[in-house]
């Protein structure tokens, strides 16, 4: 099966010329700025390109699919010799939690993007496999990191990356999740069907390089801020449903089979107090069901609501064609949310159409209730009399000098 997969991979090119790099920077602008409305550094609106200081560094490698005239996918890989990781990356990706990290060759994958009309094709595994070949074969990298939005965790997990005990990465658009993987872990890469398994088999084993002892790092994955184990997720959801203090909520009104299905297909994210979960106008279609904690919803800097356990967030972007968020969400207390991708609904429509219909019905109910509440607020604001400046009052015992009579 793996051989058949690799035979269908798209050709990948390493950007070696200025023309190729500039084509990648323009492609990034189209995807990150124009389509996804990311808040990122290095944006040049006049020339419609996205290039930051790391892009031109000696430790950066750029790969792309397509051609300079029409780039269809791209990734940036940064790699460092032992002890040479810049302090910013070291802190951001919680590398201090990894034993002997300063003795290892490290790489970070980023700026991973695919043309919107080609997502779901073979471009992502093609870029990943070619990148593994370069990082392992040429630079002998021991461990790889990346940082992604929660909705992309499952895609990178298929490549061999895992969530670990690293802290969520704060970002202007919302929380991001650190992930790590070992390119020498052939057994795991082969088990999950990663396109990198062939690279691991080529470079590691008897008569080749000794693989890293990944058992020394297994504890990192047991203390992850993101949980993907269905049994663990199910137990958390049942606890929320059994909470005696919880009133009617989105989660409580779902039939049990649908609760079970969402738990099987979602992932849990632990959120620290003050964390920006998502930003208004950011393009991100995931649903978030709150299992614990309090979260503030605001738009234009004004608070719309405070929501808690059992409630759902993100239903507007879930349905919008653009996928743009209609409000920002920030955690007021430590909390835990179940993240469900919109892609899950499409899969459910094929596998469990009755449950998919139930989910759509309850999301529509939430939308209608919140729309009705917004309309009531608008009517109250319109009915409230304007506060006009009062006429100066004559000084008297009943009206103190200079008072406004209010």
Residue 307's pLDDT is 93
Do residue 284 and residue 171 come from a single domain? no
388 found inside a domain: no
Do residue 92 and residue 199 come from a single domain? yes
Residue 247's pLDDT is 62
Residue 246's pLDDT is 58
- Vertex 225: Cα angle to 223 and 227 (nearest 5): 85
Question: Which distant-in-sequence residues (6+ apart) come within 8 Å of 132 by Cβ?
Answer: 183, 195, 196, 199
Do residue 99 and residue 243 come from a single domain? no
Given 167, 189, 224, which residue is the final one in a domain? 224
Check: CB of residue 164 under 8 Å from CB of residue 179.
yes
User: How many domains would you assign to the chain?
Assistant: 2
Do residue 176 and residue 282 come from a single domain? no
Do residue 267 and residue 286 come from a single domain? yes
132 found inside a domain: yes
Residue 296's pLDDT is 96
209 found inside a domain: yes
Do residue 154 and residue 191 come from a single domain? yes
pTM: 0.84
86 found inside a domain: yes
394 found inside a domain: no
Do residue 271 and residue 141 come from a single domain? no
Q: Any idea how long the chain is?
A: 406
How does pLDDT run along the chain (406 residues), one tens digit per residue? 444 454 467 899 999 999 999 999 999 999 999 998 888 889 999 999 999 999 999 999 999 999 999 999 999 999 999 999 999 999 999 999 999 999 999 999 999 999 999 987 889 999 999 999 999 999 999 999 999 998 899 899 999 999 998 999 988 889 999 999 999 999 999 999 999 999 999 999 999 999 999 999 999 998 788 888 888 898 889 988 887 565 678 999 999 999 999 999 999 999 999 999 999 999 888 999 999 999 999 988 889 899 999 999 999 998 888 888 999 999 999 999 999 998 888 899 999 999 999 999 999 999 898 888 878 877 877 777 655 554 444 443 333 333 323 3
Do residue 103 and residue 203 come from a single domain? yes
Residue entry with tokens 């790590």: 180
Do residue 68 and residue 114 come from a single domain? yes
Do residue 188 and residue 331 come from a single domain? no
User: Residue 305 is part of which domain span?
Assistant: 229-382
Q: Give the CATH number for residue 27.
A: 3.40.630.30
Residue 377's pLDDT is 75
- Sheet containing 267-271, strands listed edge to edge, beginning at the edge strand earlier in sequence: 226-227, 267-271, 335-340, 287-292, 312-313
Do residue 278 and residue 197 come from a single domain? no
Residue 3's pLDDT is 45
Residue 386's pLDDT is 59
Residue entry with tokens 């070992």: 182
399 found inside a domain: no
Given 204, 224, 244, which residue is the final one in a domain? 224
Burial of 160 (0-12, 13-18, 19+ CB in 10 A): buried
Q: Give the CATH number for residue 235.
A: 2.60.120.10
395 found inside a domain: no
Do residue 110 and residue 28 come from a single domain? yes
339 found inside a domain: yes
Q: What is the DSSP string of 101-139?
A: GGGS-EEEEEEEEE-GGGTTSSHHHHHHHHHHIIIIIIT
Given 224, 254, 277, which residue is the final one in a domain? 224
């Amino acid at each position: 099966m793996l051989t058949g997969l690799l035979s269908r991979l798209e050709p990948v090119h390493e950007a070696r010329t200025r023309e190729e790099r500039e084509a990648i920077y323009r492609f990034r602008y189209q995807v990150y700025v124009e389509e996804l409305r990311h808040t990122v550094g290095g944006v040049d609106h006049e020339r419609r390109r996205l290039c930051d200081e790391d892009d031109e560094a000696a430790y950066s490698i750029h790969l792309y699919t397509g051609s300079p005239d029409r780039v269809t996918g791209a990734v940036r890989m940064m790699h460092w010799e032992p002890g040479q990781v810049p302090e910013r990356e070291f802190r951001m990706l919680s590398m201090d939690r990894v034993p002997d990290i300063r003795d290892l060759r490290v790489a970070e994958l980023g700026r991973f993007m695919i043309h919107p009309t080609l997502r779901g094709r073979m471009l992502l595994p093609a870029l990943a496999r070619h990148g593994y070949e370069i990082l392992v074969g040429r630079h002998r990298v021991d461990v790889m990191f990346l940082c992604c939005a929660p909705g992309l965790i499952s895609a990178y997990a298929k490549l061999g990356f895992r969530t670990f005990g690293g802290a969520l990465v704060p970002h202007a658009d919302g929380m991001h999740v650190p992930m790590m993987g070992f390119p020498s872990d052939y057994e795991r890469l082969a088990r999950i069907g990663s396109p990198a398994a062939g690279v691991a088999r080529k470079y590691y084993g008897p008569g080749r390089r000794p693989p890293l002892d990944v058992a020394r790092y297994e504890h990192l994955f047991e203390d992850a801020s993101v949980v993907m184990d269905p049994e663990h997720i199910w137990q958390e959801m049942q606890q929320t449903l059994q909470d005696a203090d919880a009133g009617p909520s989105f989660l409580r009104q779902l039939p049990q089979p649908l609760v079970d299905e969402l738990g099987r297909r979602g992932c849990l994210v632990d959120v620290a107090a003050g964390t920006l979960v998502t930003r208004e106008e950011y393009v991100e279609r995931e649903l978030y069901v709150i299992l614990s904690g309090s979260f503030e919803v605001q738009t234009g800097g004004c608070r719309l609501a405070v929501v808690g356990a059992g409630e759902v967030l993100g239903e507007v972007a879930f349905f919008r064609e653009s996928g743009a968020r209609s409000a920002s969400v920030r955690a007021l207390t430590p909390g835990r949310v179940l993240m469900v991708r919109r892609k899950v609904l499409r899969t459910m429509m094929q596998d469990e159409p009755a449950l998919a219909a139930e989910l759509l019905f309850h999301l529509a109910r939430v939308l209608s209730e919140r729309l009705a509440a917004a309309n009531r607020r608008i009517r109250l604001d319109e009915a409230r009399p304007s506060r006009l400046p009062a006429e100066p009052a004559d000084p008297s015992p009943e009206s103190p000098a200079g008072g406004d009579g209010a």
